């Protein structure tokens, strides 16, 4: 395995609802469970300006990296400014890109991080500075290796930045299944949006996913799926209103992985959101997502 992860994703944000220690906690728990070893982890470098400019404007990239954001931009981003936070976001872009490359080599790429789907070309939103999903998809396509990518976004929030970036691009199919009456207030137009009511539970959620995802994969048959596996669909998440159990989230992941396996489509996984009142619940969900991916999709070691 070659799993993208940096301990530098853990940044002190003074009690912010986005507990960045969830990434380190996930890596450490996977190691304790002997699912991965330290040798499996790959340290992402900070993304290059050239890579960021594949989807972001020069002004946004330069001002965000230099910490020159206005009060309005900071309020919309909803996280503090610091060199450590910028570095974590730059590394996350490289981490998701490497997960995509690894998926094309082996069938599965994992990133213990990533999923900043609210970032737009010219600004950040909702804890998302740079859109790693969009950069990775664009770079993989521009490298002429792929003809099409599908972004399967099952975070509780709509992937509005990703939808906006790829609106009208036939090479990228954006599928967002999210809580409708929730942030962002203004939804963008994904290739397919499925908005769910607050309170949606396991049975209803899984039935809708089973009804939609496998036929999409069969008809579109993308060269790569980038799976945004948000943990914030969990019933005890502080920022979401869906009511999936931990077992329900596992079943969600299983549907994605088995569907991709059935159609022989490589998968890159990012973790996305997760804001449970108990950090251990978020860590458990993220660990389950990655363990199941390895079980379903990883090729046996020689």
152-195: pLDDT as tens digits:
999 999 999 999 999 999 999 999 999 999 999 999 999 999 99
d(CA 145, CA 143): 5
Sequence-ordered list of residues with C-beta below 8 angstroms from that of 179, at least 6 positions apart, any chain: 156, 157, 195, 196, 197, 198, 200, 240, 241, 242
Q: What does pTM read for this prediction?
A: 0.97
Q: Which of 168-172, 225-229, 281-285, 298-302 has the lowest mean pLDDT?
A: 298-302
Give the model's confidence band at 145: pLDDT under 50 very low, under 70 low, under 90 confident, else very high.
Answer: confident
Q: Please confirm whether the linkage preceding 4 is cis (ω < 30° from 0).
A: no
User: Which residues are within 8 A (CB) of 114 and not within 5 positions of it... i.e. 6 or more apart?
Assistant: 4, 92, 95, 96, 99, 132, 133, 270, 271, 272
When pLDDT is cut at 50, 70 and 90, the band that residue 302 belongs to is very low
Could you tell me the fold of the domain covering 3-297?
Answer: 3.40.800
Q: Rounded CA gap, 62 and 130, in Å?
A: 12
Given a cut of 80, whether residue 289 has pLDDT beyond it is yes
Residue 256 has pLDDT above 80, yes or no: yes
178 closest CA partner among 190, 168, 166, 167: 190
* Averaged pLDDT of the chain: 96
Can you name the residues that pair with 269 across neighbouring β-strands? 110, 227
CA-to-CA separations, 256 to 81, 174, 246, 275, in angstroms, rounded: 35, 15, 16, 22
Alpha helices in 67-184 (DSSP H): 71-77, 83-106, 132-142, 160-166
Angle, alpha carbons 20-172-249 (nearest 5°): 45
Distances (CA, A) of 36 to 30, 41, 71: 6, 8, 42
Contact 47, 98 (CB under 8 A): no
| Residue whose structure tokens are 């329900």 | 248
Tokens (6 digits) for 163: 């939808």
């Amino acid at each position: 395995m070659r799993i993208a992860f940096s301990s530098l994703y853990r940044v002190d944000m003074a009690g912010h609802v986005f507990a960045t220690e969830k990434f380190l906690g996930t890596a450490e728990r996977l190691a304790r469970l002997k699912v991965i070893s330290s040798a499996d982890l790959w340290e992402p470098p900070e993304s290059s300006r050239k890579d960021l400019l594949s989807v972001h404007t020069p002004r946004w990239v330069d001002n965000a990296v230099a910490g020159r954001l206005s009060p309005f931009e900071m309020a919309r981003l909803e996280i503090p400014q610091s060199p450590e936070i910028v570095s974590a976001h730059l590394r996350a872009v490289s981490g998701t890109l490497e997960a995509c490359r690894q998926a094309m080599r082996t069938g599965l790429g994992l990133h213990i991080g990533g999923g900043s789907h609210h970032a737009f070309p010219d600004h950040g939103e909702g804890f998302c500075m740079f859109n790693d999903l969009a950069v990775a998809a664009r770079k993989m396509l521009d490298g002429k290796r792929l003809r099409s990518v599908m972004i399967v976004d099952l975070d509780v929030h709509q992937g509005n930045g990703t939808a906006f970036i790829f609106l009208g691009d036939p090479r990228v199919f954006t599928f967002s299944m999210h809580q409708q009456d929730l942030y962002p207030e203004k939804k963008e137009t994904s290739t397919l949006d499925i908005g769910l009511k607050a309170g949606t539970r396991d049975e209803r959620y899984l039935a809708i996913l089973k009804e939609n995802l496998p036929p999409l994969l069969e008809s579109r048959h993308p060269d790569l799926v980038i799976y945004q596996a948000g943990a914030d669909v969990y019933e005890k998440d502080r920022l979401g209103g869906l009511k999936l159990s931990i077992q329900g989230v596992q079943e969600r992941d299983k549907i994605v992985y088995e569907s991709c396996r059935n159609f022989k489509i490589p998968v890159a996984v990012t973790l996305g959101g997760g804001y449970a009142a108990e950090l251990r619940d978020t860590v458990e969900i993220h660990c389950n997502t990655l363990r199941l991916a390895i079980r379903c999709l990883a090729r046996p070691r020689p």
